[in-house]
Structure 1
Amino acid sequence: MTTEQVVLVDDAGRAIGTEDKATVHHAATPLHLAFSSYVFDDRGRLLLTQRAVTKKAWPGVWTNSCCGHPLPGEPVEDAVRRRLADELGLVPATVELVLPAFRYRAEMPDGVVENELCPVFRVDCVGDPEPDPAEVAAYKWVDWPRDDVQAGLEAAVGAELSPWCVLQLQELKRLGEVPGEWAVADRASLPPSAQ
């Protein structure tokens, strides 16, 4: 059985190696390539998900629709589609890049660190998810708030959101109040390891 690999990157976003996904997250997590996606349905509602309680990083935390790591050599848009199918049983109608250069670092109370170069995508899907319980504990479709997006989404699920989701919401708000009208970013603005 082959272990899943993540792509390690330098500060300029260039691939510099790989590491096993199972061992990459720890107190000194190296910078690596990831993605985040925000799934909307045909009514404009956002899909929020609660991470499975068995996950090493942020177990049980509510967050954006789906996150993951491109495999070495895998186009990041293909990784978005693969993980949406694997985690949620969803087949996207569209996958659009909106934040090509998002990067963050967050540390859990137990010392586990996320350290990711993490392009963000807006995704349109039809139908309800069928979550893999090893990945997703629960999900909820919520209306996109017009004012304080973070507070509105946290109120909708009754919990704080993941640190990366909070940071992404700040940047997404700058793109406009209506997610369906966010400008699609130029793919050439992705980090080199994601192109």
Structure 2
Amino acid sequence: MTDAIPELVVLLDAAGAAIGTARKDTVHTADTPLHLAFSLYAFDASDRLLLTQRAASKVAFPLLWTNSVCGHPAPGEPLESAVRRRARDEMGLELAELRLVLPQFRYREELLGIVEHEACPVLVARAISAPRPHPQEVAAWEWMPWADFADEVMNGRRPVSPWCAAQVGQLLALGAAPQDWPTADPRLLPPAIPSPAPPT
């Protein structure tokens, strides 16, 4: 029996270009290097947002409420493939209508001596299956109308992860309704993300 292959994250320079890799299970420390990630906001057929509470076992920001799915593209992995893979692994979700909305989001935040430091494009999608969360990833989940969630976050009534709080403010600047948020130009993504293959 062999050990599982460690999951790798892509390390970045200040311009967002890849400069190496690190094991995901060791990268989050008091001095976490900038690395590649993504955030997904998944909505159901009634335009409710899927919220998730991070599992207690998470090294970074445990038990905080946050967006639907967070993850890290593997080295050389296309962004869309990474988002779909992580949605299945973390939440048992299948997605449709996947769109890029905040290609240049990045942040650095610290909690309890652990730093998150990510270039973290934000995407939205339609969830086309019921959530089946992985217990080591997600402690709880719920559906909520976007307007109610955004109001709670902006008025401080729902504590969320710091990246989610910042993302909600930027998403509201795109428009009040998620279906009206414009699709962003993928050329604005960090250069470490492989360009989509041209249509055949």
Tell me if TM exceeds 0.5: yes
Q: Residue 34 of structure 1 contacts residue 70 of structure 1 at CA under 8 Å; is this kept in 2?
A: yes
Question: Could you list the runs of 5+ residues in structure 1 that have no partner in the other structure?
Answer: none
Question: Match for 1:131: what amino acid?
Answer: P
Match of 2:64 among 61, 67, 83: 61
Q: Residue 96 of structure 1 contacts residue 184 of structure 1 at CA under 8 Å; is this kept in 2?
A: yes
Q: Residue 93 of structure 1 contacts residue 124 of structure 1 at CA under 8 Å; is this kept in 2?
A: yes
Give me the identity figure in percent. Answer: 53
Shift of 1:94: 1.9
1:14 matched to 2:24? The reply is no
Which residue is equivalent to 1:74? 77
1:85 matched to 2:123? The reply is no
Question: Match for 2:113: what amino acid?
Answer: G
Shift of 1:188: 1.1
Distance 2:123 2:143 in 1: 17
Distance 2:170 2:132 in 1: 29
Sort the Cα spacing of 1:147 and 1:26 in 2 relative to 1 into closer, same or farther, 3 A: closer
Which residue is equivalent to 2:181? 182
Shift of 1:89: 0.5
How many aligned residue pairs are there?
191
1:173 matched to 2:172? The reply is yes
Sort the Cα spacing of 1:153 and 1:36 in 2 relative to 1 into closer, same or farther, 3 A: farther
Q: Residue 144 of structure 1 contacts residue 153 of structure 1 at CA under 8 Å; is this kept in 2?
A: no
Match of 2:27 among 15, 19, 24: 24
Alpha-carbon RMSD: 1.6
Q: Which moved more, 1:137-146 or 1:20-29?
A: 137-146
Q: Residue 150 of structure 1 contacts residue 169 of structure 1 at CA under 8 Å; is this kept in 2?
A: no
Distance 2:43 2:56 in 1: 24
SS of alignment partner, residue 104 of structure 1: strand
Match of 2:130 among 128, 131, 156: 128
